[in-house]
Every structure is written in C-alpha cells, then in structure tokens.
Structure 1
Amino acid sequence: MSQLLNLYKSAGADQFTAAVCQFAPYFSTISPQFTDLQPNRAEATVPFRREITNHLGTVHAIALCNAAELVAGTMTDASIPAGARWIPKGMTVQYLAKAKTDVRAVADGSQVAWTQPGDHEVPVDIFDTQGTKVFHARITMNIKID
C-alpha cells in the first residue's frame, strides 16, 4: 500500500489533507478537503472563497487545475505498484461552465493500466454543488516501475 494511502486510512481525511498541504504547500491555496482516496479514485472538495475567484466572480481556472492535479496525483500514488514512481507531465483542460459554488474534484483511474510503465492519462472531472460538470482534465502521468 502506498504511504499516502496508508496515511489517509490511518489519519483520516482531515489530517491527511493537512499533511498533503504541508508537504506540497501550493495545494493549501485552494483549501481542499479530501473525501475519498483509494486505488483508482480520489475525491476532494474546494470551498468557494473570494481568494480563488477571477474577475467574473467564479472559481479561477488555475484553482480548478490545482484541484485536478491534487486528486490525480494522490490517486496515482494510491494506484501504482509498490516501488513505482510517478510525475505529472502535462494537462489538457476543458472549462465547461462557470463555477460559482464549492466544487468537487474526482479523479477516476479505473481505466488506467497502472502496472505498465510510461505515460498514462488520468481523467478528472470537477462538479459544482448542483452536480453540473464545470471542468474536465486529462493529466498525463509518467510512471516508472523499478
């Protein structure tokens, strides 16, 4: 089991979120809260706050990208074989609707061949509180297997 997944299971969502934001401080700018982490799935919420809005009063594009990378990375870590390593290489995004509420980011790795080295695309969807998909990303993760 990955160290991140072990920490999530042992410490709980609140302490896990705090630890991730301590380890990678930039994620703290969106004040995330993990609600699920397991192999092939991660989910976190991001509260709507003025600090992450744009000139339109909606959640800023980069805040959405930040949330997507957070859930994709933690899910990747929880999904790869023991001893494997990963790094994000790129991200393609689609802004589908204005995000005017809290948002929920969901990474789904169920279609990723985690035991194969190389580049893999991780899909992430972000929804507002009404369930409208406001954002979609495909994050390319490079997997190295020892």
Structure 2
Amino acid sequence: MSDKSVVLKTWLKLKNLPFGNWLFTKVVCFKAPYFGSMKPTVLDLRDGHCSAMVKNRRNVHNHIGTIHAIAQCNLAELCAGVMVDATVPYKTHRWIPKGMTVQYLAKVDTDVTAVAEIAMPRQWLDKEDLVVSVKLYNTRNELVFTADITMYITKKKEQKNKN
C-alpha cells in the first residue's frame, strides 16, 4: 500500500495526461467548490511544494482592474492547502487552516502564480502549528504578495477495533 495521500496519487496519475493539470484542478475545486470561482490551475505538486496560477480576467478583478486582494488570498490558501494535504502523512495526521497573515506588495495586473513551500524532510509532531510560506509572482517574475498561512496539524485519534 502506498504512503502517498490521495491528492498526491491523483496528481501523479493525471499530471502527464493531456489537460492533466486542468483535470486535477477540477477535482480539487469539486472537493472545495469555492476555489473554482477564480478558475485556478495547479502547475506542480510534490512533498513540501505546490504552485498554481490564476489568469488575469475580469471575474477576479477589483474596481481598478487588477486582481482582487481576496482572489490573491484564495489562491494562496488553495496552494498551501493542496501542498499540505499532499505532504502531511494522511494515515496518521490531519490538518485545518488556522490563520493567515498577508502582505500586498504591488498591484497585480497580469496573470499570477503562487508558490507554497515548506522545508522537507520534516518530523511530524502530535500537535503543531505549521506556518506555510506562500509567494505570488506576476508574469514579470516580480513578488507581488506574500502570505504566512498557519495550518493546525494534529495526530489522528487511534480507532479501536470493533469486534
């Protein structure tokens, strides 16, 4: 039996297929429908790393025609959540977002790519706050947004055998 999470196994099956990234992203957005509103695309996923992008389209704009601050937060949370889900040992641990601190560094007037990363390998504790750093870049490779997303990681309770 594989030690890879369902999310990571699904990514590995789909990533090299035609439209595999698109299909994987659709699966993620089916599971967490709110993310679908910004029409993201997951670009890469592995232990400790996820990248995703959102196109600069009117439906993610604010009143001045740039990508809305909350759309940037949503992309950061999507990236961090998918990465954590693919990385945390799914058989023994679970996670939930606990908080987010963000910095808006520049207007986002192009497509935007988010990168979420944590140091690997790592020791997973029974209970911890994992801070995931997420950085968003415009198409000129300029850093336009940063987020530190705190994920609450806990060990799953052991289930007793029912005979």
Normalised by the shorter chain, which TM-score bucket?
over 0.9
Contact preservation (8 Å) 2:48, 2:117: yes
> Quick one: distance in 2 between partners of 1:2 and 1:92?
27
RMSD of Structure 2 on Structure 1 (CA) = 1.3
- The structure number with the bigger radius of gyration is 2
> Quick one: distance in 2 between partners of 1:112 and 1:90?
23
Contact preservation (8 Å) 1:45, 1:103: yes
Amino acid at match of 1:11: L
Deviations 1:63-114 (A, max 9, x none): 0000000000010011112321100000000000100000000001126845
> Quick one: distance in 1 between partners of 2:81 and 2:58?
26
With the length of structure 1 as denominator, give the TM-score of the two structures.
0.95
Name the CA shift for 1:127/1:109 in 2 (closer, same or farther; >3 Å). Answer: same
Amino acid at match of 1:123: S
Q: 1:29 Cα shift?
A: 1.0
- How many residues matched? 146
Deviations 1:114-145 (A, max 9, x none): 51231111000000000011100000000012
Name the CA shift for 1:10/1:58 in 2 (closer, same or farther; >3 Å). Answer: same
> Quick one: distance in 2 between partners of 1:114 and 1:26?
32
Q: Which residue of 2 aligns with 1:7?
A: 10
Indicate yes or no: 2:129 matched with 1:129. Answer: no
Q: Which consecutive unaligned segments of at least 5 residues does structure 1 have?
A: none
Q: 1:28 Cα shift?
A: 0.7
Q: Which residue of 2 aligns with 1:144?
A: 154
